[in-house]
Amino acid sequence: MRVCILGATGLVGRELLHLIPRAWPGAQLALHASRDQELEVDGRRFEVKAATQLDAVDATGGELAFVALDDEHSARYVPRLLALGYRVIDKSNAYRGDPAVPLVAAGVNDGLVADEVRLVANPNCTTIPLTLALAPLRRHFGIRGLAVSTYQAISGAGIAALDQFLLDAQVGYAAHNRLGAAFSPSGYAGNTVPHNGKTDDSGFSAEERKLMIESSKILAFPDLPISAQACRVPVAVGHYEQVWLTCERPVSLDAVASAWAGGAFLRVVPTADGAGLSALATVHERDLALVGRVRVVPHDPTTVCFTVAADNLRLGAATNAVRIAARWFPAVDPTLQAPGNLP
């Protein structure tokens, strides 16, 4: 099987280089980025070609392509990959809203990945763990509405932002200023900042709208009553989300735990105080969403408050993409196999 990664040198592309041999040992890789270059990942060297080579009339096709580019470049290259015969999973926002393109969180609605489907959109890195946590709760208790607050890692903004953050943090903390006055008030290091790109007339940012619109599409719940607040925190990897969910029926802690036990790709962290449920804990459990810290809201027995955390580069991006593809090409590693729609 020939597997193409477009954006192989980026944060998500590099994770795919770990996952593809687990899912499909022996797969032949075709790697592309902005230009010809060599890439070293954990001591392995890879030849990467300029993506423009795919435009050549004699460009080679293949079975499966992962596209880990920004929206603009995804829109440019996805049609070309489809024309070359690839089945494509796109990680950008370019196709998520297209009604003709399934938007899939593996373990929630991967039953949509039928044989005749050629293009699937991978959701945003906060949407995937949120919908994994919500789907079993919806089956058991129904959903009347929810509010979500996210605390997102810097790596969600790509490799350049992550490297700048690491550098700024190193320099800023070396200044030994307890207030953090050495940091830029608008930068990521030592800071909490609104995820405020493309804030529209509604007052919600693009990141917040993505979480709301995508959750509705994945759960096949039109007009899902959801609102979101998204910010970035000075963490390298691992998105943390706080959810207030109002159900159709009263809920209890035990009932929530048993609903999650029937979900997919979840690790329930049973501690009442949330010990073991942190952004960094997700990089030790990269392919699962961590859920826990459930509290029934004192004034309303139908509302529960809980925490969801996941590695944004893996469960929130590359792992979900591989699990989607495993619906077409079954994965050797069972932890990377999507289950099909759960009852």
| Binding residues vs ligand NAP (CB under 6 A) | 7-13, 33-35, 51, 68-70, 73, 91-92, 125, 155-156, 158-160, 312-313, 316-317
CB of 197 to ligand NAP, least distance (A): 11
**C-alpha to C-alpha distance for 284 and 68, rounded to whole angstroms:** 23
Q: How far apart are the first and last CA of the chain?
A: 32
**C-alpha to C-alpha distance for 157 and 153, rounded to whole angstroms:** 8
**Smaller CB distance to ligand NAP: residue 158 or 339?**
158
**Smaller CB distance to ligand NAP: residue 70 or 285?**
70
Listed in sequence order, the DSSP H helices in 84-158 are 127-141
b/e map 83-101, b = 16+ CB within 10 Å: eeebbbbbbbbbbbeeeeb
φ, ψ of residue 5 to 5 degrees: the values are: -120, 120
DSSP 287: T
**C-alpha to C-alpha distance for 338 and 343, rounded to whole angstroms:** 14
Q: Which residues are catalytic?
A: 125, 239
CB of 74 to ligand NAP, least distance (A): 6
**Smaller CB distance to ligand NAP: residue 71 or 300?**
71
**Smaller CB distance to ligand NAP: residue 70 or 333?**
70
CB of 204 to ligand NAP, least distance (A): 18
CB of 191 to ligand NAP, least distance (A): 18
289 and 315 Cβ atoms separated by less than 8 Å: yes
